[in-house]
A and B are shown apart, each in its own frame.
Chain A
Amino acid sequence: MRKAQISITYIILTVAAVLVCFPILFSICLSFSDLNDILQGNYIPSKLDFTNYIHAFQTQPLLRYMINSAITGVLSTTLQITFALLAAYAIVFIPFRGKKIIFLIMMATMMIPGEVLVISNFQTIRAWNLLNTFPGLILPGVASTFGIFLFRQNMMQIPLELKEASTVAGVSDFGFFIRVVAPMVKNTVVTLAIYFFLVSWNSYLWPLLSTTEDTVRTVQIGLRQLKNTEAVSDYGMMAAGAMITSLPTLLLIFFGQKRLQEGMTKGALK
């Protein structure tokens, strides 16, 4: 590349980076600022003042909500990965009739947007008395087509002879699954774990519908509540609340970005 081209690249990227970061940086500034300063347009805090963060935790049980989100995230991620691993294994390694149709039916669920299903799922969960419980929060989403698809892609690279050899050696089917297949797809497990946790932590509509009590309410809905109280005019505190909510997933992105990118590419390329 020529020198001029490199300089232009850097200029465009820097401008874009500032623009992309801006909403977050602005909120970070507000979260450390005094309300009077904000109202006068002084957005740059003079000192590191954690008052807004303390207020945010006092106004809403944000800590409780974060623990709830973490529990929900870990449980649903674990179940999604386990279920997807099992299903993909059956599709790749166990011969049976109608396999193609079952796989196609599973893939077809991708065409149905979740928003269409929430009305009926809400009634189901309510009928089972699972509103305001972790199972109610998690169950409707624990079967993942995307996960099954990605694991299937990954498992198809494992030679079938390996299965035959271990059957001859007397390894049970489940033993082969646990000791041979699962370790071989562990990269995909990590990618999906990051992805599922992100999606779970950030999910909005279903937690809004299925939780009305503090005991299980997730942090996103906590933020929504914070916004719908008079606290909304305490801009510094709102910013602090949003920062608290975002910190875990931002950290996850910083450290898992590469993994996520590799995994997503596999999903995109089919």
Chain B
Amino acid sequence: MEYVHAPLHTVEAAPAVQKKRLPLWIIYLLPSMLIFLIFTFYPFVKTLVTSFFATTNTGALTQFIDIQNYVTLFTDPKYLQNLGNTFLYLLLTVPLTVIFALLLAVLSCSNLPGMGIFRTIFSSTMGISVAAGSVFWNLLFHPTAGLLNHIVTAFGSKPVGWLTDANCALLSVSAVSIWMNLGFSYLVLMGGLKNIDDAHYESVEIVGGGFFYRLFKVTIPLISPSLFFVFTTALIGAFQSFGLIDMLTAGGPNNSTNLLVYRLYKDAFVNFRIGSASAQGVVLFLLILLVSQLQTKLTERLVTYQ
């Protein structure tokens, strides 16, 4: 058979091979698509599936247990506390980060002498890693050698357990988080401010509006897309906080700074409870989805694109 048809095949081979060749767009998209497939979509589905199973400590599925992982999770007072901690942490960090960044950006975007130095300083924390930032702050917070307690005791009050007192540790971690994230938010908002046409401000000069009039009537509406972007990024980033917790408190004292991702990490990579950790991953995903959808809905009306 092959022998007989061989010449025919060679005649038709050229167009056939052409047709079989991958379309051009696939070749260009292939690298990214493969990575997304293997390291985003596959693990996402796998996490979803695993969350309904009992697992061995290497993550192999042993038995379908329906929503038992979720039930266990939501009846675990410690997990509920982690959820509460995370929401408190969001409330403490996100609005303040955005407000500070906005104020500093508005004040330092003029052409007055020296503003370049301020801009460099305010964006500098973007170059600091969570590991290094945590070490810096650990030294400030240190119970005996740290500067903060030196200041506190100089004023006559008792030393504060910045990271060791359960009532105050989350506040301390939040302060570090605001400091860490300031640089990025500032940089984005500064970019937004630079894009505002001076004509907008000139018309305010004519009306004679003051600083706050300008801020609320001109600046904020005009940079609302950047503001929205910064807010969303800060929110999602806060949900994902891990490094700070790992470096500063390891979730303690008394579970008071244990946030969702830190707990997930502990369960998956220290306690080897892969099923439960997967369920926690799904909850985290749903929370981020929900919050960002809510935010989109809320801001849709407020954001004005130029």
Contact = CB atoms under 8 A, between A and B. Distances in A.
A48 interface: no
Interface residues of B, number: 98
Contacts of A265: 188, 191-192, 194-195, 226
Given A27-B135, A148-B32, A239-B139, A116 B282 contact: yes
A90 B25 contact: yes
Nearest to A111: B289
Interface string B117-144: 1111111111111111111111110101
B129 A116 contact: no
A22 B139 CA distance: 12
Interface string B47-65: 1001000000011000000
A247 B179 CA distance: 18
Q: How large is the interface on A (under 10, 10 to 19, 20 to 34, 35 or more residues)?
A: 35 or more
B36 interface: yes
B219 to A, nearest CB: 14
Contacts of A105: 36
A90 B28 contact: yes
A34 B240 CA distance: 37
A115 B110 CA distance: 39
A75 interface: no
A9 B123 contact: no
Contacts of A9: 107, 110, 112
Given A117-B47, A139-B35, A13 B59 contact: no
Top 7 A-B residue pairs of the complex, sorted by shortest distance between their CB atoms: A265-B191, A120-B43, A143-B35, A253-B127, A90-B28, A202-B129, A268-B229
Interface of B: 23-25, 28-29, 31-36, 38-44, 46-47, 50, 58-59, 100, 104, 107-108, 110, 112, 114, 117-140, 142, 144-145, 147, 150, 179, 182-184, 187-188, 190-192, 194-195, 211, 225-226, 229-230, 236, 239-240, 242-243, 246-247, 261, 264-265, 268-269, 274, 277-278, 281-282, 284-285, 288-289, 292, 305
